[in-house]
A = this chain, B = another copy of it.
Amino acid sequence: MTHFGERLAAAILKKGNSVTVGLDPRDRQLPMELLERARQRYSDRAEQVAAAFEEFCCRVLDIVAPLVPAVKPQAAFFEEWGPAGCAALARVMRRARALGLLVICDAKRGDIGTTAEAYARGYLAGGDSEAALWGADALTVNPYLGRDTLEPFVRIARERGAGVFVLVRTSNPGAGTIQDLREGNGTPLYRRVAAIVEELAEETRDGNRYGLVGAVVGATYPTELAELRQAMPHAPLLIPGYGTQGAQAKDVAAAFAADGSGALVNSSRGIIFAIERPEYAARFEPTQWERAIEAATRDMISDLARNTPAGKLQRP
């Protein structure tokens, strides 16, 4: 079973960039043509939306698969539409893997003991696409329940060549209300979690530069991001917040090691709904939403290449 760190490094080198496209479909923002077609096929509203999500996401995948190493479907948007949404999510993840993309399922799961194991067995397929019904290469997990609750995810990820990204510092405005809580010696909670992540990453390197345990660190807090890159030298970082949430390339530069490795930078709405952004709305007709997605993806790749160490990545 190929180690997740090796698979991640290979995917990044092959595409020559670290861009991750977030699949956050929302019914009100889908192209009208897709919703219309789904309405003709299904009478049930949830089935309609799920079918439109699936077609939309698969068309996004076709555009971005030649360009970027990874995609990050957000489970919540699919689950909102019930079992039909879940079935669409599973098919989208399978399609992404078939196109050679790494799939990071952003489900932020977390539970204790054998319950955590059930999530891990269900989501983490890693290198063997038949190993788990949801077929993800990696899963985001929440550390609140304690270090022992991360271990089942790590163990099963290791068995399967999969990865785990632990929430350390999230990108929302109120992240600090819990994550900045400071111990008597001044250490904030997010540093305590980072220390656990680095330990798990170091323990699971198996000769690779990075372990199979990484961290989610929001680009909206650049100071903490730089601090956390230092604190977790063996953890790959997954960075949300670029684009729509307000962070720019200069804000994510510190997420990378000097050679451009070690981070995936995610943009969701900024890419998949690029046609709504003034710069692309000016260049493309509303029906040309796929061209807007391609342009936004290429622009993000260039932006990161120019303004972060990601520019040092070897091109294919």
Q: Is A175 an interface residue (CB 8 A)?
A: yes
Please measure, in the bound complex, the distance between the C-alpha atom of A147 and the C-alpha atom of B178, giving whole angstroms.
7
Within 8 A of B (CB), among A174-200: 174-179, 181-184, 186, 189, 192-193, 196
Within 8 A of B (CB), among A87-136: 87, 89-90, 108-116, 118-119, 121-123, 133-134
Which of B123, B142, B184 is A144 in contact with, Cβ under 8 Å? Answer: B142
User: Is A82 touching B119 in the complex (CB atoms < 8 A)?
Assistant: no
> What's the nearest-Cβ distance from chain B to residue A14, in Å?
29
- Chain A contact-residue range equals 35 or more
User: Is B76 touching A115 in the complex (CB atoms < 8 A)?
Assistant: yes
User: Is A87 touching B80 in the complex (CB atoms < 8 A)?
Assistant: no
User: Is B192 touching A118 in the complex (CB atoms < 8 A)?
Assistant: no
Please measure, in the bound complex, the distance between the C-alpha atom of A192 and the C-alpha atom of B112, giving whole angstroms.
21
Please measure, in the bound complex, the distance between the C-alpha atom of A110 and the C-alpha atom of B106, giving whole angstroms.
11
Please measure, in the bound complex, the distance between the C-alpha atom of A173 and the C-alpha atom of B113, giving whole angstroms.
9
Q: How many copies does the complex hold?
A: 2
- Enumerate chain B residues within 8 angstroms of A133, measured Cβ to Cβ: 46, 80-83, 85
User: Is A173 touching B148 in the complex (CB atoms < 8 A)?
Assistant: yes
**Per-residue interface assignment for chain A, residues 133 to 154, with 1 indicating a CB less than 8 Å from any chain B CB and 0 otherwise:** 1100000001111111100000
Q: Which 10 A-B pairs have the closest CB atoms?
A: A82-B133, A148-B174, A80-B122, A146-B174, A112-B172, A83-B87, A144-B144, A76-B118, A86-B86, A80-B118
Q: Jot down 24 A-B pairs with beta carbons below 8 A, ordered by A.
A: A76-B116, A76-B118, A77-B118, A79-B119, A80-B121, A82-B86, A82-B122, A82-B133, A108-B110, A108-B145, A112-B172, A113-B172, A142-B144, A143-B178, A144-B144, A145-B174, A146-B172, A147-B177, A148-B177, A177-B196, A178-B192, A178-B193, A181-B181, A189-B189
Q: A residues bordering B, Cβ < 8 Å?
A: 24, 26, 46, 74, 76-77, 79-83, 85-87, 89-90, 108-116, 118-119, 121-123, 133-134, 142-149, 167, 170-179, 181-184, 186, 189, 192-193, 196
